[in-house]
Amino acid sequence: MTEVSYETRSSGAWIRINRPEAMNALSREVLDGIMAGLEKAREDEAVRAVVLTGTGKAFCAGADLKEVLSFRGEELVRGHREFLAHANTVFDAVEMFPKPVISAVNGLALAGGLELILCGDLVIASETARLGDAHANYGILPGGGGSVRLPRTVGPTMANYLFFTGEFLPASRLVACGLVNEVVPPDKLETRVAELVEVIATKSPLGLARLKQLVRDGLAQEVPTGVRLELLTSEAHAHSHDFVEGLTAFSEGRSPKFLGR
């Protein structure tokens, strides 16, 4: 079994971490597998959304510390730095991916696993899932963007609670703060995510890609600047097939047929 599998189901590309014996920890091979899956999904026009999930009891328990600890002395510092650079390249690719990315959180999601989730767009979790930062439990600092993305997602107070206590909270406790969209029974998780993928597949892929970019850019800018960018993007979008098709379909009382251009 490869450490990361790739499967297309209808309109979705499912990227699954397959290291249950290691709680799906992020090794270099896992990171490369996620990146390879993203590249396949990007090129496949039939794929309208990507799903990240794990095998077994964990979604992802973070970095493979045994791999990091294979280095000694100054080599440990270098190895740690190189691993974080590798991880951030993959995390950035998830965040910048033009199609919606859904995390199907089947179990434990800690540290780098939580940071991976934060790079995606939607989070559907099993009732058995628990999420936390956990870096502080081992005297480690976040290195995959957690200190930046978590406060922006849940607010600084909840982020600090997760950072300072290292607790693993049930997914149900993380809906109100915006980290998790929905919690479902374990045996319904993949069915619910597949349903969500099909809803997304009815939308304009070009429109969703531009919306993702606007949201990312808007979070990094002052409101007036973000609004100006939104207006400029909307003007450019008005020249697209999907814009015209959407309005035409509305006027004709039918479902639109989007082409992503």
Q: Which of 13, 3, 99, 1 is nearest to 52 (CA)?
A: 13
pLDDT digits (tens, 9 = 90+) for 17-46: 999 999 999 999 999 999 999 999 999 999
Which distant-in-sequence residues (6+ apart) come within 8 Å of 13 by Cβ? 6, 7, 37, 40, 41, 44, 47, 49, 50, 51
Residue 229 to residue 170: CA distance in whole angstroms: 38
CATH superfamily of the 4-201 domain: 2-enoyl-CoA Hydratase; Chain A, domain 1 (3.90.226.10)
Sign of CA dihedral 70, 73, 74, 77: positive
Residue 245 to residue 234: CA distance in whole angstroms: 15
How confident is residue 1, by pLDDT bands cut at 50, 70 and 90?
low
pLDDT digits (tens, 9 = 90+) for 80-125: 889 999 999 999 999 999 999 999 999 999 999 999 999 999 999 9
pTM of the model: 0.94
Per domain, the residue ranges of the chain are 4-201, 205-252
pLDDT digits (tens, 9 = 90+) for 58-74: 999 999 988 777 777 77
Q: Which of 211, 161, 25, 89 is nearest to 169 (CA)?
A: 161
Greater confidence (261 vs 194) lies with 194
